[in-house]
């Protein structure tokens, strides 16, 4: 939904690299996340078994997705909720806006949901003239800043404490006491309290949809989801169709993986199963509950090479451990979802032509797949996008010509020998001192680092010169 075309990936990543404050902010959050996750897993000896079981649960759901969607719809309806289906992001937004209007909503509170960001719900509410109050602390911060999330767990992680203080000082009345995190949390709590209780509609996402109860599950540490979904007259849930699990027990097995991988906790402070609207006689709760099931490209992934991505439980571990994300942050990716999982999903959502850099801006080091709690082979999926990009002819002509020349040589060993011999001799002329500090056509390398020159003739030349070894030479 976010316009990836506003500026190119390279311009955005260059701007990010030139921003030392951003780097400080990224290092603080991802560094902490990495340490806490490692500590949590060190105390969970069953992790590897839990991880394979978790991915098997998600695979089972996807293999029977139609069955579970219908089961969920049946049970959610029986609990009194109304289930809606949206094939695209615009259909989803239209449904939510219509429901808000039907409820006569002037003010809606929203509990952080990346699906909501994916479908562009914040902007759609704004265009519909409905006041939107983001209740998650990080979403509150980026709402004040007029930004999009830069991380799926910590949407405001690109901002340092000092930068948050600037925003709060300008907006909060009274302003926070100082720029310590604790004071700013208190300030946001104070500002948001009144808005929670006066909202007409509360909108949340769902971490899981429980097929056998029809409940939606949210996890938060702040308690904002329950304050968003309980006081208003209407609760609207927007959720991707891949969020299904067979039962609450299956959700529990995945929660153990999700929370440890995301924040290093064992469970979030609040794990809530929302099953229908207020029951007769209930002391509180919304009168109506609507659940909007959103496809937006997911059903297509079932049949193509990106199916494994439907296992994703949105923990953010892949981005916390990604060397590229840790240099450029989330906004440079240009899509709703950043980091390795975003580099796989953004081409699905925004089109490959718009986001072609993402699968290439990766060193293929595999750490994302290593830390993924549901064993998604992220480098393999990124490689699949590279293949599609090549086959679609999206590579530039220089790249294609260069690679064609290389492939021509690589398939003719005799010719390759000759060409590499000439190349090595040329490089040796440039690198007489051992190092090459500047090299035409390799500015990308030598702008930032020296190139060690070749040490002599090629291996093959020297090996052949030694003569074919006879059996009696062998020790």
Partner 1 sequence: MTRATRPRVGLFVTCLVDAMRPEIGFAAIRLLEDAGCDVEVPTRQTCCGQPAYNSGDDASTAAVARQVIAAFEPFDHLIVPSGSCAGTIRHGYPALLASDADWGPRAARLAEKTHEIMSYLVDIRDYTPGGLRLEGSATYHDSCAGLRELGIHDQPRRLLAAVDGLEMRPLDGENVCCGFGGMFCVKYPAISDAIVGEKADTVERSGADMLLAGDLGCLMNMAGKLNRRGSKVRCFHTIEILAGGGNGPAIGEKP
Partner 2 sequence: MSARDSILSAIRTGLGGSRNDPAAIAAEAADLLAAPETIRPPLVAATLVDAFCEKSEALGATVDRIGSIDEVPASVGRYLEGQGLSAEIAVESAALFRDLDWGDLRPRLAVAPDAPAAVGLARHGIAESGSLVIHSGKETRILLAFLPLHHIVVLRAASIVSHLEDYAALLVGHETSPRNAVLITGPSGTTDIEGSYVRGAHGPGFVHVILVFDA
Sites for partner 2 among residues 387-416 (CB under 8 A): none
DSSP 137-159: HHHHHHHHHT---SSSS-TTTTS
Six-digit token string for 30: 């991802």
Nearest to 234 by CA among 72, 91, 101, 117: 101
Q: Compute the least distance from the CB of residue 60 to partner 2, in Å.
A: 6
Cβ(340)–Cβ(326) below 8 Å: no
Q: Compute the least distance from the CB of residue 414 to partner 2, in Å.
A: 48
Q: Compute the least distance from the CB of residue 116 to partner 2, in Å.
A: 17
Nearest to 132 by CA among 111, 150, 114: 111
Per the document, the length of the chain is 475
The answer to whether residue 232 forms part of the interface with partner 2 (CB under 8 A) is: no
| Partner whose binding site includes residue 269, from partner 2, partner 1, none (CB under 5 to 8 Å by kind) | partner 2
User: Which CB, 181 or 323, lies closer to partner 1?
Assistant: 323
- Label residue 105 exposed, middle or buried (CB < 10 Å: 0-12, 13-18, 19+): buried
Cβ(415)–Cβ(409) below 8 Å: yes
Strands in 87-155 per DSSP E: 107-110, 131-134
Give the Cβ contact number of residue 264 at 10 Å.
Answer: 19
| Partner whose binding site includes residue 214, from partner 2, partner 1, none (CB under 5 to 8 Å by kind) | partner 2
The answer to whether residue 375 forms part of the interface with partner 2 (CB under 8 A) is: no
Q: Compute the least distance from the CB of residue 297 to partner 2, in Å.
A: 10
Q: Compute the least distance from the CB of residue 411 to partner 1, in Å.
A: 5
| Partner whose binding site includes residue 82, from partner 2, partner 1, none (CB under 5 to 8 Å by kind) | none
The answer to whether residue 149 forms part of the interface with partner 2 (CB under 8 A) is: no
Give the Cβ contact number of residue 40 at 10 Å.
Answer: 19
Contact with partner 2 (CB under 8 A) among 64, 90, 327, 458: 64
The answer to whether residue 137 forms part of the interface with partner 2 (CB under 8 A) is: yes
Q: Compute the least distance from the CB of residue 53 to partner 2, in Å.
A: 5
Torsional class of 388: left (φ above 0), alpha (ψ -120 to 50), beta (otherwise): alpha
Return phi, psi of residue 244, to 5°: -70, 145
| Partner whose binding site includes residue 53, from partner 1, partner 2, none (CB under 5 to 8 Å by kind) | partner 2
DSSP 26-38: HHHHHHHHHHHHH
Distance in angstroms (rounded) separating the CA atoms of residues 262 and 271? 14
The answer to whether residue 50 forms part of the interface with partner 2 (CB under 8 A) is: yes
| Partner whose binding site includes residue 251, from partner 2, partner 1, none (CB under 5 to 8 Å by kind) | partner 2
Q: Compute the least distance from the CB of residue 332 to partner 1, in Å.
A: 9
User: Which CB, 7 or 186, lies closer to partner 1?
Assistant: 7
Point out which residues bind partner 1 (CB under 8 A): 10, 13-14, 17, 323-324, 327-328, 360-367, 369-370, 383, 385-391, 395, 399, 403-404, 406-407, 409-411, 413, 416-417, 420, 423-424, 427, 432-435, 437, 442-445, 447-460, 462-464, 474-475
Distance in angstroms (rounded) separating the CA atoms of residues 187 and 170? 12
Contact with partner 2 (CB under 8 A) among 65, 128, 419, 424: 65
User: Which CB, 210 or 315, lies closer to partner 2?
Assistant: 210
Q: Compute the least distance from the CB of residue 44 to partner 1, in Å.
A: 20
User: Which CB, 270 or 360, lies closer to partner 2?
Assistant: 270
Return phi, psi of residue 269, to 5°: -60, -35
User: Which CB, 100 or 436, lies closer to partner 1?
Assistant: 436
| Partner whose binding site includes residue 361, from partner 1, partner 2, none (CB under 5 to 8 Å by kind) | partner 1
Burial annotation 188-214 (CB, 10 A radius, 16+ → b, else e): beebbeebbeebbbbbbbbbbbbbbbb
CA distances from 381 to 11, 53, 210, 315, 432 (A): 25, 21, 28, 18, 43
Longest dimension (CA), the chain: 96
Contact with partner 2 (CB under 8 A) among 116, 122, 240, 246: 246
Q: Compute the least distance from the CB of residue 152 to partner 2, in Å.
A: 13
Q: Compute the least distance from the CB of residue 233 to partner 1, in Å.
A: 49
Tell me which residues in 259-318 interact with partner 2 (CB under 8 A). 263, 265-279, 281-285, 293, 295, 299-303
Contact with partner 2 (CB under 8 A) among 2, 113, 135, 261: 135
The answer to whether residue 145 forms part of the interface with partner 2 (CB under 8 A) is: no
Contact with partner 2 (CB under 8 A) among 191, 215, 369, 374: 215
Contact with partner 2 (CB under 8 A) among 7, 249, 363, 455: 249
The answer to whether residue 98 forms part of the interface with partner 2 (CB under 8 A) is: no
User: Which CB, 87 or 404, lies closer to partner 1?
Assistant: 404
Cβ(228)–Cβ(111) below 8 Å: yes
Torsional class of 333: left (φ above 0), alpha (ψ -120 to 50), beta (otherwise): alpha
Cβ(308)–Cβ(376) below 8 Å: yes
């Amino acid at each position: 939904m976010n316009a990836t075309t506003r500026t190119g990936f390279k311009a955005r990543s260059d701007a990010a690299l030139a921003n030392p404050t951003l780097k400080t902010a990224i290092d603080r959050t991802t560094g902490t996340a990495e340490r806490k996750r490692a500590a949590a897993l060190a105390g969970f000896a069953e992790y590897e078994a839990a991880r394979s079981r978790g991915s098997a649960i998600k695979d089972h759901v996807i293999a029977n997705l139609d069955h579970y969607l219908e089961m969920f719809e049946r049970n959610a309806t029986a609990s009194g909720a109304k289930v809606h289906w949206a094939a695209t992001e615009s259909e989803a937004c239209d449904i939510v806006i219509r429901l808000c209007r039907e409820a006569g909503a002037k003010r809606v509170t929203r509990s952080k949901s990346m699906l909501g960001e994916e479908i562009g719900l914040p902007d759609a509410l704004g265009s519909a003239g409905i006041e939107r109050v983001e209740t998650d602390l990080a979403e509150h911060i980026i709402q004040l800043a007029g930004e999009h999330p830069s991380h799926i767990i910590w949407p405001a992680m690109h901002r340092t404490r000092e930068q948050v203080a600037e925003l709060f000082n300008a907006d909060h009345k009274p302003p926070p006491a100082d720029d310590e995190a604790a004071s700013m949390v208190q300030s946001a709590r104070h500002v948001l309290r009144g808005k929670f209780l006066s909202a007409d509609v509360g909108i949340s996402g769902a971490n899981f949809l429980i097929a056998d109860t029809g409940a939606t599950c949210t996890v938060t540490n702040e308690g904002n989801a329950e304050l968003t979904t309980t006081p208003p007259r209407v609760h609207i849930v927007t959720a991707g169709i891949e969020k299904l699990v067979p039962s609450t027990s299956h959700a529990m097995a995945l929660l153990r993986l999700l929370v440890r991988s995301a924040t290093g906790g064992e469970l979030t402070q609040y794990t809530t199963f929302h099953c229908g609207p207020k029951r007769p006689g209930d002391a509180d709760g919304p009168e109506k509950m609507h659940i909007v099931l959103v496809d937006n490209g997911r059903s297509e992934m079932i049949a193509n090479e990106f199916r494994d991505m439907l296992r994703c439980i949105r923990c953010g571990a892949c981005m916390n451990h990604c060397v590229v994300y840790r240099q450029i942050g989330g906004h440079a990716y240009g899509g709703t979802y950043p980091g390795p999982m975003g580099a796989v999903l953004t081409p699905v959502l925004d089109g490959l032509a718009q986001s072609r850099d993402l699968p290439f801006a990766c060193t293929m080091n595999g750490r994302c797949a290593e830390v993924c709690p549901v064993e998604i082979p992220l480098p393999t999926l990124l490689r699949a996008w590279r293949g599609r990009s090549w086959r679609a002819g999206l590579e530039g002509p220089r790249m294609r010509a260069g690679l064609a020349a290389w492939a021509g040589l690589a398939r003719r060993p005799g010719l390759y020998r000759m060409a590499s011999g000439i190349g090595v001799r040329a490089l040796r002329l440039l690198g007489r001192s051992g190092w090459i500090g500047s090299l035409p056509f390799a500015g990308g390398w030598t702008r930032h680092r020296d190139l060690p020159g070749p040490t002599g003739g090629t291996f093959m030349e020297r090996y052949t010169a030694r003569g074919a070894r006879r059996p009696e030479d062998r020790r």
